[in-house]
Amino acid sequence: MQGMCLHWEAAAPRADHSQCAGQVESIRRYHLGQGYTDIAYSFLVCQHGQVFVGRGWDRQSGATCNSYWNSRYWSVCWMGGPGYIPSAAALTGLRSVVDQARARGGTHVIGHRNACSTQCPGDYLLGWIANGLPAASATTPAPTPQTPTKKAIGMLLRDKTNGRIYLISAGYSEWVKSQFRVDVLRFIGVPYADVSQTDIENVRVAYNAPTDAFVA
- Which range touches Zn ion (CB under 5 A), out of 42-50, 51-59, 81-89, 175-183? 42-50
Which one, of 24, 70, 74, 28, lies nearest residue 50 by Cα?
24
DSSP-derived letter for residue 10 is: S
| Interacting residue with Zn ion among 1, 2, 3, 17 (CB under 5 A) | 17
Question: Under the criterion CB under 5 A, does residue 98 sit at the interface with Zn ion?
Answer: no
Q: How many residues bind Zn ion (CB under 5 A)?
A: 7
**Closest distance of CB 151 from Zn ion, Å:** 45
118/209 with CB nearer Zn ion: 118
User: Can you tell me the distance from the alpha carbon of 47 to that of 43, in angstroms, rounded to the nearest whole number?
Assistant: 13
- Reduce the DSSP state of residue 170 to 3 states and report it: strand
**Closest distance of CB 154 from Zn ion, Å:** 50
Question: Under the criterion CB under 5 A, does residue 113 sit at the interface with Zn ion?
Answer: no
Question: Under the criterion CB under 5 A, does residue 120 sit at the interface with Zn ion?
Answer: yes
**Closest distance of CB 13 from Zn ion, Å:** 8
Question: Under the criterion CB under 5 A, does residue 55 sit at the interface with Zn ion?
Answer: no
- Reduce the DSSP state of residue 169 to 3 states and report it: strand
DSSP-derived letter for residue 92 is: H
**Closest distance of CB 86 from Zn ion, Å:** 12
User: Can you tell me the distance from the alpha carbon of 51 to that of 65, in angstroms, rounded to the nearest whole number?
Assistant: 23
For 123, residues 6+ apart whose C-beta sits below 8 A from its C-beta are none
Phi, psi at residue 40, to the nearest 5°? Answer: -75, -25
Q: Give the CB-side neighbour count of residue 175, counting CA atoms within 13 A.
A: 7
17/102 with CB nearer Zn ion: 17
Question: Under the criterion CB under 5 A, does residue 31 sit at the interface with Zn ion?
Answer: no
Contact positions vs Zn ion (CB under 5 A): 7, 17, 20, 46, 48, 112, 120
